[in-house]
Amino acid sequence: MSGYVEGVIILVCINVIAVLGVSILTGFTRLFSFGNAGFMAIGAYASAILTTKYGAPFPVALVVGPIIAAIVALGLGKLTLKLKGDYFLITTLGFGESVRLLFLFAEPITGGARGLSGIPPKTTMFIAVGITMLAFLGAWNFLRSKYGRNLMAIREQEIAAEAVGINTAKFKEYSFMISAAYAGMAGALLAHYYMFISPIMFNLPKSAELTITVVIGGLGSLSGSVLATILLTVLPEIFRSAAEYRMLLYGLAVVIIIVLKPSGLMGYREFSLRPIFTLYERIFKKNNPTQTKGDGK
């Protein structure tokens, strides 16, 4: 049973890392991507091939996987980031599917549809949690530096961002590369947790799932993204019998959120304990009889 809980925690961690990347790209730069599963695939295959076929140590694979994903993102971004909103999204969609098909057809290297097996089980809970915390901290600091601020300027008002001297094309590339590196890291951890990868694991629904998670958490809230990932990874585990309806529930959740609270669970705010303290003070320090009564119910 504890092995099962451990497995769920590792899965949450892997999803959190991938979603953090999408959060930087979509939540903070307002670039929508439906191809981040493609970057996960690149990270997964690159690292798995390194450890299985070349006997590279796991840490090396964990570094090289994300780097290759980021390099591919740089090349793709140079071609497509000048496109406006919807057109960029369509190119990422095409990219994600191309990557999947490429890995499907490159059978001698990737094992094709039969997948790549025999990957050493190196992703422990300790490693997954540690890397997730580092990834979160890195993203958090990044967003609170000039880099993150420039991305938010692009999100808010691209013309004004250019007018204050921000090279918007370059910073969009940064955002895209970081999101790809995060996806690559998630892919590398995934490969070394499942010990088996196949192209179908990185299909369009996976990309959609990542973006949907960010939308539900709040476009512009890093902690909201984490919160949504935990909810969307753990809930299907609890309701195992309804697992087939997962994408249906995701779709419904998005519709409900867009209608009721378009800014997502957290909006632009970050999770902090302050509202809880103020609520606590309001309930217990004012000694208001009606409130204590309400609380007791």
Q: Which residues bind another protein (CB under 8 A)?
A: 137-138, 141-142, 145-150, 152-153, 156-157, 159-168, 174, 220, 268
List the beta bridge partners of residue 117: 196
CB closer to another protein, 13 vs 161: 161
Residue with smaller CB distance to another protein, 30 or 192 = 30
The Cα–Cα gap between 72 and 150 comes to: 23
Q: Which is nearer to another protein, 163 or 276 (CB)?
A: 163
Residue type, 196: F
User: What is 158-169 written as a DSSP string?
Assistant: HHHHHHTT--HH
Looking at residue 20, its amino acid is L
**What is the CB-side half-sphere exposure of residue 25 using CA atoms within 13 A?**
33
- Residue 237 burial (10 A CB sphere; 0-12, 13-18, 19+): middle
Least separation in angstroms between residue 129's CB and another protein is 19
DSSP string for residues in 13-34: HHHHHHHHHHIIIIITT----S
Based on CB atoms, which residue is closest to another protein, 274 or 297? 274
Q: Looking at beta carbons only, is 10 or 186 nearer to another protein?
A: 186
Q: What is the DSSP letter of 279?
A: H
* Minimum distance from residue 174 beta carbon to another protein (Å): 7
Q: Which residue has the tokens 């939540």?
A: 27
* Shorter beta-carbon distance to another protein: residue 274 or 285: 274
Burial of 268 (0-12, 13-18, 19+ CB in 10 A): middle
Q: How far is the CB of 117 from another protein (least distance, A)?
A: 35
C-alpha to C-alpha distance for 161 and 153, rounded to whole angstroms:
5
Q: How far is the CB of 215 from another protein (least distance, A)?
A: 16
CB of 45 to another protein, least distance (A): 26
Task: Tell me the two tokens of residue 264.
Answer: 């997502």
Quickly tell me which residue has 């930087």 as its tokens.
24
Instruction: Provide the residue count of the chain.
Output: 297
Chain-centroid distance of CA 15 in Å reads 6
Instruction: Report the residue number, 6 or 173, with the smaller CB distance to another protein.
Output: 173
Which of 23/52 has CB closer to another protein? 23
